[in-house]
């Protein structure tokens, strides 16, 4: 029987990064993956394919709507080849997942293709072409998550779909009904809106992206409405029915009135659930909590001391970079080091256009905690860079402690917000004040000048360009 210092179950961004770090630290490491490609949700059916489609559809929209303003004329109509767009996405995925295989080889990590399940706390059964057992001193559970649904919805994967099917549709929906105005709904909704679908979003809460700062929700809602998204917040979906090639969704609005939506596709994007099906955690003595997540302590150690868990299968934000941080963290804990993760500084991004990015506390959280804070906000449209590229929507909002000026939260809607948020993460990691940022040179013309201006507004209410 093969023996390892560490066995990692699941090869998503949590699992494969954990395996690499374990190998770097000199541990004999194996990784077990049930699918034929490595990389998990993120690389196969999540972050990477969704961004590939967002980029393609963004180009299409630019060619169709904005090239003319730039003086670029296309003789005839701009046409979309959906099959080619989906094939390009798949090529990006294939290249990226192959890259993980290369990294496993480079780091001498043994890859087992098969389904892993616990026999006991130190033995894992692997079922693939054949079934066999390996022994591991330590195991890292990195089995990720699957799309969640509502009890009365039957996902048929043809017309009533999850994000996985939405990444490979064979036709452009005429009317895509999206249940859930969170990250997946808005990102994939924008893909199909740009290429011609009518898109209706049905959200249970009173605003889209409800976990982010309310100012971001409001601004994104405004911009998406301009893009002709049909937004239905405060709507409680009560039935989803497929009738031939149509889908009928019924919901109650705020006043309790029934509203009927008729479309040809319905994307269910109401969150994801931790995935531990078939893992047989009980055999190892690992406990799950009431949400089905693997329960862990502050060292990400489960109820069994040599078994750890990371990523979407445990509590916290379901984000690839959070899973990666936890992968490194656990590897270093096993190696006897004392790593640290500041969960407050894990940024969140929505890759719509304009992008939405956020780190630290929201205004709502600061109010609830009774923190005395001040706000510095600067609109993107006041930047020369924004006018040059015609990306005028959005703003940067900096929340700082009223007494100490320490930055407590940064919230951005705007072009390239996803990349800009890194400056805020660095600043907050070093506990910078708003004044610190306001005194640093920001290249001109860039979108990041809005961060400096918002910092000036937060410090002494003296932005320079508004």
Residue numbers at the binding site for ligand FAD (CB under 6 A): 9-15, 32-35, 40-42, 46-47, 50, 115-117, 142-145, 163, 184, 275, 278-279, 311-313, 318-321, 323, 351
Least distance from C-beta 81 to ligand FAD, angstroms?
22
271 binds, among ligand FAD, ligand NAD, none (CB under 5 to 8 A by kind): ligand NAD
Contact stretch for ligand NAD (CB under 6 A) within 60-68, 106-114, 349-357, 445-453 = 349-357
Question: Taking CB under 6 A as the rule, does residue 350 contact ligand NAD?
Answer: yes
Contact stretch for ligand NAD (CB under 6 A) within 60-68, 75-83, 93-101, 270-278 = 270-278
Q: Note every long-range contact of 197-200, with CB atoms under 8 Å and residues 24 or more positions apart, other chains counting.
A: 197/172, 197/173, 198/174, 198/228, 198/230, 198/263, 199/175, 199/228, 199/229, 199/230, 200/175, 200/176, 200/229, 200/230, 200/232, 200/261, 200/263
149 binds, among ligand NAD, ligand FAD, none (CB under 5 to 8 A by kind): none
Q: Which is nearer to ligand FAD, 141 or 240 (CB)?
A: 141
Question: Taking CB under 6 A as the rule, does residue 385 contact ligand NAD?
Answer: no
Query: How many Cβ atoms from other residues are within 10 Å of residue 342's Cβ?
Result: 11
Least distance from C-beta 109 to ligand NAD, angstroms?
26
Least distance from C-beta 378 to ligand FAD, angstroms?
26
DSSP string, 163-209: HHHHTT-SS--SEEEEE--SHHHHHHHHHHHHTT-EEEEE-SSSSSS
DSSP string, 6-63: EEEE--SHHHHHHHHHHHHTT--EEEEESSSSSSHHHHHHSHHHHHHHHHHHHHHHII
377 binds, among ligand FAD, ligand NAD, none (CB under 5 to 8 A by kind): none
Question: Taking CB under 6 A as the rule, does residue 341 contact ligand NAD?
Answer: no
What gap in Å lies between CA 201 and CA 249, rounded to an integer? 11
Q: Note every long-range contact of 218-223, with CB atoms under 8 Å and residues 24 or more positions apart, other chains counting.
A: 219/393, 219/394, 219/395, 219/413, 220/186, 220/350, 220/352, 220/354, 220/356, 220/413, 222/393, 223/354, 223/393, 223/394, 223/413
What gap in Å lies between CA 445 and CA 437, rounded to an integer? 17
Least distance from C-beta 270 to ligand NAD, angstroms?
4
Question: Taking CB under 6 A as the rule, does residue 181 contact ligand NAD?
Answer: yes
Residue 444: active-site member? yes
Q: Which is nearer to ligand FAD, 118 or 229 (CB)?
A: 118
Least distance from C-beta 59 to ligand NAD, angstroms?
19
Question: Taking CB under 6 A as the rule, does residue 271 contact ligand NAD?
Answer: yes
Strand duo 355-360 + 272-274: pairing: unpaired
Question: Taking CB under 6 A as the rule, does residue 14 contact ligand NAD?
Answer: no
Among residues 59, 66, 70, 444, the one annotated as catalytic is 444
Instruction: Give the list of residues 6+ apart from residue 460 with CB closer than 8 angstroms, or none.
Output: 435
What does the angle CA 93 – CA 94 – CA 98 come to, to the nearest 5 degrees?
A: 115
Contact stretch for ligand NAD (CB under 6 A) within 14-22, 86-94, 126-134, 344-352 = 344-352
Which residue in 11, 190, 232, 269 binds ligand NAD (CB under 6 A)?
Answer: 269
Which residue has the closest beta carbon to ligand NAD?
Answer: 182
35 binds, among ligand NAD, ligand FAD, none (CB under 5 to 8 A by kind): ligand FAD
Which residue in 173, 185, 189, 376 binds ligand NAD (CB under 6 A)?
Answer: 185
Point out the residues that are catalytic. 444
């Amino acid at each position: 029987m093969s023996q390892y210092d560490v066995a990692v179950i699941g090869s998503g961004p949590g699992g494969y990064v954990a395996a690499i770090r374990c190998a770097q630290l000199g541990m004999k490491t194996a990784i077990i993956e049930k699918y034929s490609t490595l990389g998990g949700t993120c690389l196969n059916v999540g972050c990477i394919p969704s961004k590939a489609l967002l980029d393609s559809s963004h180009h299409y929209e630019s060619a169709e709507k904005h090239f003319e303003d730039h003086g670029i004329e296309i003789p005839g109509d701009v046409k979309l080849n959906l099959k080619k767009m989906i094939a390009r996405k798949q090529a990006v995925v294939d290249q990226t997942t192959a890259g993980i295989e290369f990294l496993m080889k480079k780091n001498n990590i043994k890859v087992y293709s098969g389904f892993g399940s616990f026999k006991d706390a130190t033995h894992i059964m692997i079922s693939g072409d054949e079934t066999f057992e390996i022994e591991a001193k330590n195991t890292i559970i990195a089995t990720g998550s699957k799309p969640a649904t509502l009890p009365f919805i039957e996902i048929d994967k043809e017309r009533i779909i999850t994000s996985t099917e939405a990444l490979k549709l064979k036709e452009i929906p005429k009317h895509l009904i999206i249940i859930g105005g969170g990250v997946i709904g808005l990102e994939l909704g924008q893909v199909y809106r740009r290429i011609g679908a009518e898109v209706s979003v049905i959200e249970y809460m009173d605003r889209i992206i409800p976990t982010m700062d309310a100012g971001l929700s409001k601004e994104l809602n405004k911009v998406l409405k301009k893009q002709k998204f049909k937004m239905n917040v405060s709507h409680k979906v009560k039935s989803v029915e497929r009738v031939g090639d149509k889908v009928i969704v019924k919901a109650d609005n705020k006043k309790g009135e029934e509203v009927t939506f008729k479309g040809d596709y319905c994307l269910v994007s109401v969150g994801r659930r931790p995935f531990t099906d078939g893992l047989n955690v009980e055999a190892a003595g690992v406990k799950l909590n009431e949400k089905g997540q693997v329960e862990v302590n502050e060292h990400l150690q489960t109820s069994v001391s040599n078994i750890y868990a990371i990523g979407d299968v445990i509590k916290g934000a379901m984000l690839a970079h959070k899973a990666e941080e936890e992968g490194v963290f656990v590897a270093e804990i096993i190696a006897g080091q004392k790593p640290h993760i500041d969960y407050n500084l894990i940024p969140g991004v929505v890759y719509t256009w304009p992008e939405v990015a956020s780190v630290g506390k929201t205004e709502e959280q600061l109010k609830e905690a009774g923190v005395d804070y001040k706000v510095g906000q600067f609109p993107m449209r006041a930047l020369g860079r924004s006018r040059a590229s015609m990306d005028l929507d959005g703003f940067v909002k900096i929340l700082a402690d009223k007494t100490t000026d320490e930055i407590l939260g940064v919230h951005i809607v705007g072009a390239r917000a996803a990349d800009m948020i890194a400056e805020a993460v660095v600043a907050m990691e070093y506990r910078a004040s708003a004044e610190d940022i306001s005194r640093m040179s920001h290249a001109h013309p860039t979108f990041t000048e809005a961060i400096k201006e918002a910092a000036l507004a937060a410090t002494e209410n003296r932005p320079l360009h508004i």
